[in-house]
Amino acid sequence: MTNQSTNKRTSSPFRYDVVGSFLRPKKLKEARIKFQEGQISKAELKKIEDTAIIDLIKKQEKIGLKAVTDGEFRRSWWHLDFFWGLNGITFKEPAQGYLFEGEETRKGTVTVTGKVTGNNHPFVEHFKFVRDHVSEKTQVKQTIPAPAQILGEVFRPDNISDLRQFYATDELFITDLVAAYKQVIADLYSAGLRTLQLDDCTWGILVAPFPEGFIDPNDSRTEAEIRADLKELYVSVNNAVIEGLPADLTVNTHVCRGNYHSTWAFSGGYDAVVDPLFTREKVNAYYLEYDSDRSGGFEPLQFVQPDQLVVLGLITSKNGQLEDRDQIISRIKEASQFIPLDRLCLSPQCGFASTEEGNILTEKQQWEKIRLIRSIAKEIWGID
């Protein structure tokens, strides 16, 4: 099954890859608790974060990853920290957390508290730190939540009244949101970023029953109409941010069904969102969750646009059990019936710690998963 003729990639996604987040070391977890309790300063916390991130970079490079991240070690949430880094967006504690299968998350959302802009976003400095500590040939991947993701927060029924204090219409807010995202991305690009990943759970929401509190009970539209309108809204805001970016900035997306403490939030195949996700979203590649039957079959991959790539998330990050090698190879072969093998790559289905709690596996198991991915990629694509 080896494809030796086109085995090299010089930009993301690479044949073996990761989504972005890694398990937080014990010392870092303890430091964050001490900071929250006022026992250490922000500067002291940053020093511990810096040390942990440098160590993580070295581990990623040693295991052979071509594009590395900071593991999201400076974040509590994969998405909310980015949102409240925007001016005019603030953290808010809702009545309940997100409802996952068998577990409720910590309580957290964001709400609008002013006009939204993207000036001086802290993630730019986070990127610069990684940039300054990687080896010469290593690329740095910056992960941020997709712009569609924040709409799912600020348009919640319990947040909409805050939005209306500053924006009379959704359209006015979206205009400022797109401009804010473009500002952050421009600042990242100026700092040297060339690989951006938009993490996006909105499509997972649309393939499953709507979560409690997601839709206004007074909405007069049918559920089918709401889903159709949301699909158009999400693809349009994502594309509005992507359009016009520098040609040498690679923009990929990761589609997820929820990842919190080894639990999941949504279940359903990609069939319901093929159009517009695979037919119209202007990304370079899709990192797709495929570690369980909750993601459905590979048939929708035939609709991915010819110039786009797919990273198969066949290795689960939700537990430490190492997958059967032959079974993974067989599944890649099955996927190649719907999209050419040369347009495929391999990764975990999600990060190992989308929030600071992390999934239920050890750091040793985390790295064993990545070694397995690299080994399988070498067998299939002939990479070194």
Q: Tell me which residue of 289, 227, 285 sits closest to 264, measured CA to CA.
A: 289
Number of other residues whose CB lies within 10 A of the CB of residue 179? 14
Q: For 268-302, what is each residue's pLDDT tens digit?
A: 999 999 999 999 999 999 999 999 999 999 999 99
Query: Residue 113 CA to chain centroid, in angstroms?
Result: 25
- The reported pLDDT for the residue numbered 214 is 81
Q: For 195-207, what is each residue's pLDDT tens digit?
A: 999 999 999 999 9
Tens-digit pLDDT string for the chain (384 aa): 444 445 678 889 999 999 999 999 999 999 999 999 999 999 999 999 999 999 999 999 999 999 999 999 999 999 999 999 999 999 999 988 888 898 999 999 999 999 999 999 999 999 999 999 999 999 999 999 999 999 999 999 999 999 999 999 999 999 999 999 999 999 999 999 999 999 999 999 999 998 877 888 888 999 999 999 999 999 999 999 999 999 999 999 999 999 999 998 999 999 999 999 999 999 999 999 999 999 999 999 999 999 999 999 999 999 999 999 999 999 999 999 999 999 999 999 999 999 999 999 999 999 999 999 999 999 999 975
Which residues, other chains included, contact 75 with Cβ-Cβ below 8 Å and sequence gap of 6+?
81, 82, 356
Which residues, other chains included, contact 247 with Cβ-Cβ below 8 Å and sequence gap of 6+?
none
Q: Which residues of 336-348 are buried (b: 16+ CB within 10 A; e: fewer)?
A: beebebebbbbbb
- The reported pLDDT for the residue numbered 173 is 98
Query: Which pairs from 222-229 meet CB under 8 Å and 24+ separation?
Result: 227/272
- The reported pLDDT for the residue numbered 12 is 94
- The reported pLDDT for the residue numbered 360 is 97
CB 340 within 8 A of CB 8: no
- The reported pLDDT for the residue numbered 6 is 53
Helix or strand or coil: residue 167?
Answer: coil
Which residues, other chains included, contact 357 with Cβ-Cβ below 8 Å and sequence gap of 6+?
106, 260, 261
For residue 383, the one-letter residue type is: I
Q: Tell me which residue of 60, 110, 63 sits closest to 89, measured CA to CA.
A: 110
Domains in the chain: ranges and CATH: 26-381 (3.20.20.210)
